[in-house]
Amino acid sequence: MQHIPPLWLDPETHLARRTPDHPILYFSPRVLHHVAERFQAGFGGLVTYAVKANPHPAVLSNLVAAGINAFDVASPAEMEAVRTASAEAVMHYNNPMRSREEIDAGIKYDVASWSVDELSELEKLHAVPRSKEIAVRFALPVSGAAYDFGSKFGAAPLEAVELLKRVAAEGWTPALCFHPGTQCEDEAAWVEYIHAAKRIVDAAGVPIARLNVGGGFAANRDGEAPDLERVFSAINLATQEAFGAQRPQLICEPGRAMVSESFTLAARIKGMRKGGEVIFLNDGIYGGLVDIRDMGLPGRVEVVNADGQHRQGERRPRVVFGPTCDSLDRLPDGLPLPEDTRTGDYVLFPGLGAYSSAMSTQFNGYGLSDVATVIELSGQQPK
């Protein structure tokens, strides 16, 4: 008999009925479908999903159901997860550093597009069938993102010219790709990259079939939903201006912006010290809150008591520690929580679908392992 997991109305209902003593991620497939549709309607090209942001089987299968059939994968394990979700899904292997065994796995999984940013890595791809696409990844010193992606991967434009020539000469389908950096809040970064892509194409004398404009689309961190459509239209306009009649097909590979909003994380308060100035949660930076360490405190948090009621008191900043014995297990200081917050309450972190469960460890026996499916997330309707 098919197992149908229980579907809860919202996190508050689940918390009040079950009073769980471990951290939980609440997943709303409805919100995920809505975001996937927004990307597919607004982005003028192929929308793929960066599996690394959240490879949960329910995320992958819901994206397939929402019409996403191409995925950015970074490892054989991610390829396996995608293949399990869909026998037909197309894979783009855009981790430019691969072992020979990983390349063999990519060939076995029939990867359609491979990114490369160094000649030695291109040489490692010699067994990749010539019917496949190789996208040269380049990097520019642009700002706008939460942190610099160009310091690890991406050829300088002059190197990209040489790589693109080599890809074409070897007989693969040439393409270009870039990633402006995660949580990129300035569409000017994409515009600059797209014009640079055209200069690389011209200098190489190699037309490209496709231009992959990366992930990096911003998620809602402070309560104001980012205007994705403004970014889509800037990308569209810049591609038209730069390439005109030779416009390549566009690809995007959002991770964070695709999946963030469909999950809320609930962590329980284990104890409070110094008159409530210091709070200990049952999740922290070694668990589902790791992204907060790197991205800073989110602008949205709610506190719910064990009856599922929201605490309404005036907010004051707190020091928040995670559950492990490690003193680094601490959120950036100043999380504003209501005055009437008590031990046993739950802190709800909306928008924590990306880089949460995917990066959670089991350090000290803690970490994220439970996902509950809900219709709504804390009374929020998809915008």
Ligand X SMILES: Cc1ncc(COP(=O)(O)O)c(C=O)c1O
Least separation in angstroms between residue 92's CB and ligand X is 9
Q: Which residue from 10, 12, 72, 376 is in contact with ligand X, where contact means CB under 6 A? A: 72
The residues, ordered by sequence, that sit 6+ positions from 305 with a Cβ below 8 Å of its Cβ are 311, 342, 344, 345, 346
**Position with the least CB separation from ligand X:** 215
Task: Please classify residue 307 by burial: count the beta carbons closer than 10 Å to its beta carbon, then call 0-12 exposed, 13-18 middle and 19+ buried.
Answer: exposed
Separation CA 207–CA 1 (nearest Å)? 54
Q: Give the interface segment with ligand X, choosing from 20-28, 231-239, 252-260, 310-318 (CB under 6 A).
A: 252-260
Touching ligand X, residues 169-208 (CB under 6 A):
179, 182
> What is the rounded CA–CA span in Å between residue 376 and residue 348?
14
Closest contact distance (angstroms) between CB of 12 and ligand X is 28
Interface with ligand X (CB under 6 A), residue total 17
- Phi/psi for 307 (5° steps) reads -95, 5
Residues in the chain: 383
Which of 184, 117, 110 lies closest to 144 in space, CA to CA? 184
Neighbours of 325 (CB within 10 A): 8
**Least distance between ligand X and beta carbon 147 (Å):** 10
Per-residue contact string for residues 127-146; x = within reach of ligand X by CB under 6 A: --------------------
Q: How far is the CB of 72 from ligand X (least distance, A)?
A: 5
Determine the interface stretch with ligand X among 80-88, 248-256, 302-310, 313-321 (rule: CB under 6 A). Answer: 248-256
Q: How far is the CB of 152 from ligand X (least distance, A)?
A: 9
Residue 273, Cβ density class (10 Å: 0-12 exposed, 13-18 middle, ≥19 buried): exposed
Runs of H (alpha helix) within 91-218:
100-108, 119-124, 157-170, 188-204
Measured between alpha carbons, how far is 316 from 339 in angstroms, rounded to an integer? 6
**Residue 55 found at the interface with ligand X (CB under 6 A):** no
The single residue among 214, 284, 322, 323 that binds ligand X, judged by CB under 6 A, is 214
Per-residue mark of binding to ligand X, 290-329 (x: CB under 6 A): ----------------------------------------
CA–CA gap between residue 94 and residue 114 (Å, rounded): 6
Contact call for residue 113 and ligand X (CB under 6 A): no
Return residues touching ligand X (CB under 6 A): 50, 52-53, 72, 94, 179, 182, 214-217, 253-257, 354
